[in-house]
Amino acid sequence: MVQLQEVTLDELKHLVSDRAIQGETMLLNMGPQHPSTHGVLRLMLELEGETVINCVPDIGFLHTGIEKNMEAKRYEQAEVMTDRLDYLNTVGNNLAYCLAVEKLVGLDVPPRAQVIRVILAELQRIASHLVWLGTQSLDLAAMSMFLYCFREREVILDILELVSGQRMMTTYIRPGGLWRDVPKEFYAAVEDFLAYFPARIEQYHGLLTKNPLFIDRTKGIGVISAEDAIAWGLTGPTLRGSGVDFDNRVARPYSGYEEYDFEVPTDTAGDVFARYICRMEEFTQSLRIIEQGLEKLKELEGAPVRSNNRKFVPPPRSELGTSMEALIHHFKLWTDGFDAPAEYVYMPVSSPRGELGVYLEGDGGNKPYRVHWRTPSFIHLQALPVLSEGLLVADLVAIIGSIDIVLGDSDR
């Protein structure tokens, strides 16, 4: 159990250059326990002095078997697994999964639920970017940013806790709507955050954007051209930093994103700094979306937040005492779940990191036959050798931060 793996070295020789085998360059192991690999990522570096000649990522240290485990659970049970994939984007994962299930079974979601979904997904996007900003600047030796970012993140987690009872693993979004409506304190909490956060963004800009130390560490580092970025499958801010205006919220809108007025920030340089600027701008855009969402939400006060289709969505508690039919549906759904057709769908959404896609296949029964998560971190990590070639080890740390990986997302 606790023995280290034995691998014959011959199998791995093709990963490094001949110079490394002759001992001219140094092979260095970075991770899986390393403070700036953002989790349990292992990198095998081939170095000449401090220059990275080649970098071979080794992932799987957080492989959780989520895809297999979801096959063993019913559709609604499998949702708790989705939270724990990309643990910085829990609401977004729920959203992607629920949208896929809804697409598979053809379920409609009431407008109020869609608006709440959008607000929470954007709050989660801000929270995720705050972790990125905190850890990226921590890696570049700006300790106080970490403390500031986590202070703000705490406010968002409080809002998530307010609506769902859990700080991180909310499972609040359900197939066909939401678990329940938001409490009335939600409006004030989000409004407070909207009023409070813009000044904080200014503060971050003041601390970093024109900071010569930060610029030296980020400008011209980890450059990737637009064509390469597309070929490597990069998405999200990592792609937009290279000048490609692509976001699933605009290209393939879901959950009513087409009704919101927002911009997709892009930059052309394609380096760490450009990706930084894109994400910083996304803070502002997410705030705009939340603001519009809140207005819509007030117009839809009292509207239902769950679909009325009782074959898929359990009836409200209040009906159980009076309606036999509701009781039957309740019993059926919580003991046996619902059946989905033997078809397959792919549902892409825009996670803070990039395109998060759910490939969901049913077999006519009440359990998913196959779930595959197309996760942005997995694909971004793959491009790491291209991004880091010829740079210093210290730059590698900046690049890992800038592609914003979450190992739970990449290893699944």
Where in 27-56 is the site for other proteins (CB under 8 A)? 32-35, 39-40
Q: Which of 10, 11, 18, 261 binds other proteins (CB under 8 A)?
A: 11
Q: Which of 340, 343, 346 shows the shortest CA–CA distance to 312?
A: 340
Cβ-count burial of 258 within 10 angstroms (0-12 exposed, 13-18 middle, 19+ buried)? Answer: exposed
Peptide bond into 32 cis (omega under 30): yes
The least CB distance from residue 291 to other proteins, in Å, is 25
The residue type at 305: V
104 binds other proteins (CB under 8 A): yes
Q: Which of 21, 141, 231, 328 binds other proteins (CB under 8 A)?
A: 231
Q: Do 405 and 38 form a contact (C-beta atoms < 8 A)?
A: yes
> How many helices (H) does the chain have, and how many strands (E)?
18, 8
From 17-25, 231-239, 283-291, 332-340, span contacting other proteins (CB under 8 A):
231-239
21 binds other proteins (CB under 8 A): no
Measured torsion, CA atoms of residues 319, 323, 326, 327, in degrees rounded to the nearest 10: 100
Give the span between the Cα atoms of 332 and 398, in whole angstroms. 52
330 binds other proteins (CB under 8 A): no
**Which residues, numbered 249-288, are part of the site for other proteins (CB under 8 A)?**
251-252
From 91-99, 108-116, 284-292, 366-374, span contacting other proteins (CB under 8 A):
366-374
Category of 31 on φ-ψ map: left (φ > 0), alpha (ψ -120 to 50) or beta: left
Take residue 266 and report the two structure tokens written for it.
Answer: 């892009």
60 binds other proteins (CB under 8 A): yes
69 binds other proteins (CB under 8 A): yes
355 binds other proteins (CB under 8 A): yes
At 254 the three-state DSSP class reads coil
In the complex with other proteins, which residue's Cβ is closer, 35 or 206? 35
Q: Which of 164, 159, 162, 223 shows the shortest CA–CA distance to 191?
A: 159
Question: x/- binding map, residues 107-146, to other proteins, per CB under 8 A?
Answer: ------------------------x--x-----------x
In the complex with other proteins, which residue's Cβ is closer, 276 or 373? 373
The least CB distance from residue 35 to other proteins, in Å, is 4
Q: Do 238 and 381 form a contact (C-beta atoms < 8 A)?
A: no
345 binds other proteins (CB under 8 A): yes
Q: Which of 186, 193, 246, 283 binds other proteins (CB under 8 A)?
A: 246
Distances in Å between the Cα of 336 and the Cα atoms of 317, 320, 327 are 18, 18, 14
The residue type at 362: G
In the complex with other proteins, which residue's Cβ is closer, 87 or 187? 87
Question: x/- binding map, residues 201-230, to other proteins, per CB under 8 A?
Answer: -----------------------------x
H helical segments located in 184-323: 185-204, 212-218, 226-231, 237-240, 248-251, 272-299, 317-320
411 binds other proteins (CB under 8 A): yes
Burial state string for 289-315 with b = 16 or more CB within 10 A and e = fewer than 16: bbbbbbebbeebeeeebbbeebebbbb
The least CB distance from residue 321 to other proteins, in Å, is 32
1 binds other proteins (CB under 8 A): yes
Q: Which of 48, 51, 87, 320 binds other proteins (CB under 8 A)?
A: 87
66 binds other proteins (CB under 8 A): yes
383 binds other proteins (CB under 8 A): yes
In the complex with other proteins, which residue's Cβ is closer, 168 or 392? 168
From 100-108, 176-184, 195-203, 269-277, span contacting other proteins (CB under 8 A):
100-108
Give the span between the Cα atoms of 306 and 112, in whole angstroms. 9
